[in-house]
């Protein structure tokens, strides 16, 4: 079953981005918009992966790579603009190929 990796951001907090996985993007976004104050969460980018295992591995690699580069990490949130986090995801996907 396909899974998604996403970079979520909030325009009200432009220097914080969340990396996560989901099987349903619509359901996941709805949950964030309900849970987060201001309800301004939006997906910056999404990537479809062939399995949950692949999505989990990519999510972990993004968080660990970002943290080792000195990016501040708070659980699945990186204190970096979504554009930079998305570039890291793209780079890690390219390395896998």
Q: Where in the chain are the domains?
A: 3-96
pLDDT confidence of residue 76: 87
Comparing CA positions, the residue from 96, 97, 87, 91 lying closest to residue 17 is 87
pLDDT for res 60: 96
Cβ–Cβ under 8 Å, residues 82 and 9: yes
The reported pTM is 0.88
Q: Name the token pair of 30.
A: 């709805």
pLDDT reported for residue 19:
96
Give me the tens of pLDDT residue by residue for the chain, a chain 97 residues long.
889 999 999 888 889 999 999 998 888 887 776 666 667 888 899 999 999 999 999 999 999 999 999 999 998 899 999 999 999 999 999 886 6
Tokens matching residue 91: 């780079």
């Amino acid at each position: 079953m396909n899974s998604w990796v996403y970079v979520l951001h909030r325009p009200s907090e432009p220097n914080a981005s969340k990396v996560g996985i989901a099987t349903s993007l619509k359901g996941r976004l709805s949950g964030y918009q309900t849970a987060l104050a201001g309800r301004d969460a939006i997906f910056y980018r999404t990537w479809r992966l062939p399995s949950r295992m692949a999505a989990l591995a990519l999510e972990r690699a993004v968080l660990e790579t970002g943290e080792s580069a000195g990016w501040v990490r708070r659980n699945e949130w990186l204190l970096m603009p979504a554009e930079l986090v998305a570039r890291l995801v793209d780079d890690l996907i390219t390395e896998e190929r």
